[in-house]
Amino acid sequence: MKHTRPAGPQLIAYADRCGGSVSGLRGLLEGQLEGVFGGVHLLPYFTPFDGVDAGFDPEDHTAVDPRLGTWGDIRELSASYTLMSDVIVNHVSARSERFTDVVAHGDDSPWAPMFLTLSSVFPKGASEEDLARIYRPRPGLPFTAMTWAGKRRLVWTTFTPEQIDIDLTTPQAWAYIESVVDALTNGGVTMLRLDAIGYTGKEAGTDCFMTPATERYTQRIAQMADERGAQVLLEVHGHHSQQIEIARSVDYVYDFALPPLVLHALHAHDLEPLAAWFAIRPANSVTVLDTHDGIGIVDVGESDLAPGVPGLLSPDQIDALVNAIHRASHGTSLAATGAAASNLDLYQVNCTFYDALGRDDDRYLLARLIQLMTPGIPQVYYVGLLAGSGDMELLERTGVGRNINRHHYSVSEIEKELERPVVAAQVDAIKLRNSHPAFEGEFAIHVEGTRGSMRWERGSAAVTLEFDVRAGTFELTASSEGGVAVRQELGASRGRA
Instruction: List binding-site positions for substrate.
Output: 53, 91, 193-195, 235, 292-293, 345-348, 402
Give the Cα separation of 293 and 53 in Å (integer).
11
Asked whether the bond before 48 is cis by omega within 30 degrees of 0, the reply is yes
> Side by side, which strands form the sheet with 473-478?
442-448, 451-458, 461-468, 473-478
* Alpha-carbon torsion angle 485, 490, 496, 497, nearest 10: -100
Closest to 287 (Cα-Cα) out of 6, 4, 2, 44:
6
Backbone angles phi, psi at 146, to 5 degrees: -135, 160
Q: Give the pairing of strands 451-458 and 461-468.
A: antiparallel
Give the Cα separation of 351 and 356 in Å (integer).
6
Is position 195 annotated as part of the catalytic site?
Answer: yes
Yes or no: say if 195 and 221 are a contact pair by the CB < 8 Å rule.
Answer: no
Yes or no: say if 105 and 149 are a contact pair by the CB < 8 Å rule.
Answer: yes
Catalytic residue among 59, 86, 235, 302: 235
Q: What is the C-alpha end-to-end distance of the chain, expressed in Å?
A: 46
Catalytic residue among 65, 73, 195, 468: 195
Give the Cα separation of 171 and 173 in Å (integer).
5
Closest to 45 (Cα-Cα) out of 29, 31, 30, 56:
56
Q: Give the pairing of strands 377-381 and 285-287.
A: parallel
Residue type, 242: Q
Is position 235 annotated as part of the catalytic site?
Answer: yes
Residues carrying an active site annotation: 195, 235
